[in-house]
Structure 1
Amino acid sequence: MVNHTTSLRRKVIALSAAAALVLTACAAPSAASSPSPAPSTAAPADVRTRKVVNAEHELVFHVVDGKLPALVLDAGGGLNSSYWKDLAPRLAKATGSKVITYDRAGEGESAEVSGPWRVENAVSDLEAGLKELGVTKDVVLVSHSIAGEVATTFVTKNPSWVSGAVLVDANVPDFFTDEMLTAFAPVIDQQKAALMAQPSTKNNRQLLAVMVDYAAVHRAFHRVTWPNDVPVTVIVSAGTPFEDSPEGARLWRDGQEHFAKAGPNRKHVVAEGTTHEGIATEHPEVIAAAVDDVLKTIR
């Protein structure tokens, strides 16, 4: 039996934050269908936690010390830094790099911010955190789902900071075509109304914030261009965020492939046997290999 509230939530996140949470009722949760992990209450001894204030709200960053380039891991919508709890130490050990994870505003342990979600604000938060940590060059972004919007906007604004990136089934400008936005506009409106009818929660408020002016915001994002001199690997899950929508899955795959072919220094990798949300736990070696490949191109 499918929990219809959960099914709605899954579609909303897929469309507005591209972080499809696959939750089912009347069945034991699996790695691909379990809820978003809760923030860790105690960080390992080798992880430093730093609190950074930007625009009068507090953000939480976790740092494993190491050398540059630094790996900055950013999870998808509805998720937080604990999404990387297994992969972050693996990458730190394998690469020797400084590894930074953090909670975007309204996620995990970071403060909630009222009003519409805007990628420019998320970029400002990340800039503030990296400045506080003294990491304003030799950054490699590892960005999942909606964090792809943050990564793309961040690198176009701060190209000298970023040496490379790995986009993990991430939102890319090429996906948000007029065809996609027109096709899904009625669904967005329907899901927005359904969310507003539910009790207000932190997660629901974050999802609704992303949906404000959705088409206009993403038409603007569609025009953003990734710098040609910044290497990027695009990892696409086999499942996509639209496992129950063949048309949505087609548009997603086409957008990812088009982005990967649209400039030099770009690679396209399909992670077989993975779902959108579970890629970091189902086949983390795909992400690790992509990170290693990017590091080899810049070292």
Structure 2
Amino acid sequence: MSSRLRRAVLAVTLPVLAAGALAACDDSTPAAVAASPAASSGAAAVTETRMVTNQGHRLAFYVTPGHLPAIVLDAGGGEDATQWKDLVPRLSAATGSEIITYDRAGLGHSDEVKGAWDVHAAVSDLEAGLRELKVTKKVILVSHSQAGEVATYFVRANPKLVTGAVLVDASLPQFYTDAEIARVVAATQPQVDAAKAAPSTKETRQLIATAQNYAPMHHAYHKVTWPGGVPATVIVSEKTPFDGSPEDAQWWRDAAAAVAGAGPDRTLVTAVGSSHEIPQDQPDLVLREIEKMAQRS
């Protein structure tokens, strides 16, 4: 697999060790005074930072007030809530909904958790946050990349809470055949080895934690299905994370089509010309599809 493809695979499946991520995850910035995504973009709506404790660690949630349905934006691998900073004020103005973003454990201003990254623990964190925020019904999940895994398990556990989802080039179960898992593990091993050899930082620790349980976690994920009765819009990028590897790119698109085609209340949307980073490449498309889902709810 080429070095270009290795970087692409890493961006989808493991936290990204990029300059932007290092700045976003600076441990020296106190969580209590962190600027919220909407506030930092100059939005008129006031976004409140709420720290939520779950199983001994704290998580940063950012809440822009509004009515139901509440729209929860979950960032991709290695990204924190600032991935959505430009979309939050536009979404708030367009829908009037309560908008919630958050930093998953180990990212942004949320505490790190020792051990391997566990999608079920991530689901528990999101459940705890929404419970603390008293969001008990009519949630629309918007999940990019790795957050698609959190969304799939979360919706299965809370089908009556979620009224719809917009999966943005999301990591979906059908992609993770035995062959694909083996390819991903092989492709990312050099970066994982380099992280282990490098000085320990929040970012390298998160990378190692995500890689630690990667294969068994995704073998299990491959057997999971999106629950019936919960509408989903599946947005897939034209280039996919695997631009440069036609075989892998096609398998990624096929996985998206399989999820979208498995129920009558699902829609497949192709972000023509977009890279994997659809929220940045085509924010208008993402906004439009979230608005449609909010209207359905």
For the aligned pair, the TM-score class normalised by the smaller chain equals 0.7 to 0.9
Alignment-mate amino acid for residue 69 of structure 1:
P
Rounded Cα–Cα distance in structure 1 between residues aligned with 2:293 and 2:155? 15
Task: Name the SS of the counterpart of 1:180 in structure 2.
Answer: helix
Cα deviation code 1:120-174 (max 9, x no counterpart): 0000000100000000210000011111000000000011110000011111111
Map residues 232-243 of structure 1 onto 2, 5 A cutoff: 232-243=232-243
Task: Name the SS of the counterpart of 1:130 in structure 2.
Answer: helix
Task: Give ranges in structure 2 of 5+ residues lacking alignment.
Answer: 26-32, 40-44
Map residues 86-101 of structure 1 onto 2, 5 A cutoff: 86-101=86-101
CA gap of 1:12–1:270, structure 2 versus 1, over 3 A, is closer
1:13 touches 1:207 (CA, 8 Å); kept in 2? no
Rounded Cα–Cα distance in structure 2 between residues aligned with 1:139 and 1:198? 41
Equivalent position of 2:290 in the other structure: 291
For normalisation by structure 2, the TM-score amounts to 0.87
2:16 touches 2:78 (CA, 8 Å); kept in 1? no
Task: Name the SS of the counterpart of 2:59 in structure 1.
Answer: strand
Cα RMSD (Å): 2.2
Map residues 126-275 of structure 1 onto 2, 5 A cutoff: 126-275=126-275
Number of aligned residue pairs: give it: 280
1:20 touches 1:241 (CA, 8 Å); kept in 2? no
Rounded Cα–Cα distance in structure 2 between residues aligned with 1:55 and 1:91? 31
1:80 touches 1:102 (CA, 8 Å); kept in 2? yes
Equivalent position of 1:10 in the other structure: 7
Task: Name the SS of the counterpart of 1:35 in structure 2.
Answer: helix
2:12 touches 2:171 (CA, 8 Å); kept in 1? no
1:166 touches 1:235 (CA, 8 Å); kept in 2? yes
For normalisation by structure 1, the TM-score amounts to 0.87
Rounded Cα–Cα distance in structure 2 between residues aligned with 1:250 and 1:60? 36
| CA shift for structure 1 position 246 | 2.4
1:12 touches 1:207 (CA, 8 Å); kept in 2? no
Alignment-mate amino acid for residue 283 of structure 2:
P
Rounded Cα–Cα distance in structure 2 between residues aligned with 1:245 and 1:94? 38
Rounded Cα–Cα distance in structure 1 between residues aligned with 2:115 and 2:6? 20
Rounded Cα–Cα distance in structure 2 between residues aligned with 1:181 and 1:48? 39
Rounded Cα–Cα distance in structure 1 between residues aligned with 2:5 and 2:274? 21
Equivalent position of 1:35 in the other structure: 20
Cα deviation code 1:170-206 (max 9, x no counterpart): 1111111223123334324344323322332212211
Equivalent position of 1:29 in the other structure: none
Rounded Cα–Cα distance in structure 2 between residues aligned with 1:87 and 1:227? 28
Rounded Cα–Cα distance in structure 2 between residues aligned with 1:89 and 1:143? 18
Rounded Cα–Cα distance in structure 2 between residues aligned with 1:61 and 1:288? 21
| CA shift for structure 1 position 289 | 1.2
Alignment-mate amino acid for residue 38 of structure 1:
A
Rounded Cα–Cα distance in structure 2 between residues aligned with 1:81 and 1:9? 25
Task: Name the SS of the counterpart of 1:72 in structure 2.
Answer: strand
| CA shift for structure 1 position 245 | 2.4
Rounded Cα–Cα distance in structure 1 between residues aligned with 2:60 and 2:136? 18
| CA shift for structure 1 position 13 | 2.4
| CA shift for structure 1 position 38 | 2.4
Rounded Cα–Cα distance in structure 1 between residues aligned with 2:207 and 2:185? 16
Larger mean Cα displacement after TM superposition, 171-180 or 154-163:
171-180
CA gap of 1:275–1:108, structure 2 versus 1, over 3 A, is same
CA gap of 1:9–1:253, structure 2 versus 1, over 3 A, is closer
Q: Is 1:119 matched with 2:119?
A: yes
